[in-house]
């Protein structure tokens, strides 16, 4: 009986760890998308500034 309880607790712990990992992974993906967006925006801003100074 104690063995089953331990096994159950262990599997719950593993599930928790997996969900935490997946959560962090999705957060990292969101962050990298955000950084990418910021880079694109700054490039667009600078290129439009450059274009307006050229004309």
pLDDT per residue of the chain (55 residues) written in tens, 0 to 9 = 577 887 888 888 888 999 999 999 999 999 999 999 999 999 999 998 888 887 6
Q: How far is CA 52 from CA 21, 45, 49, in A?
A: 46, 11, 5
Helix then strand count (H, E) for the chain reads 1, 0
Q: What is the pLDDT of residue 51?
A: 83
Q: What is the pLDDT of residue 44?
A: 92
Q: What is the pLDDT of residue 1?
A: 57
CA-CA distance, 1 to 10, in Å (whole number)? 14
């Amino acid at each position: 009986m104690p063995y089953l309880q331990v096994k159950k607790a262990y599997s719950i712990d593993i599930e928790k760890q997996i969900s935490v990992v997946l959560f962090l992974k999705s957060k990292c993906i969101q962050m990298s998308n955000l950084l990418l967006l910021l880079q694109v925006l700054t490039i667009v801003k600078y290129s439009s500034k450059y274009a307006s100074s050229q004309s």
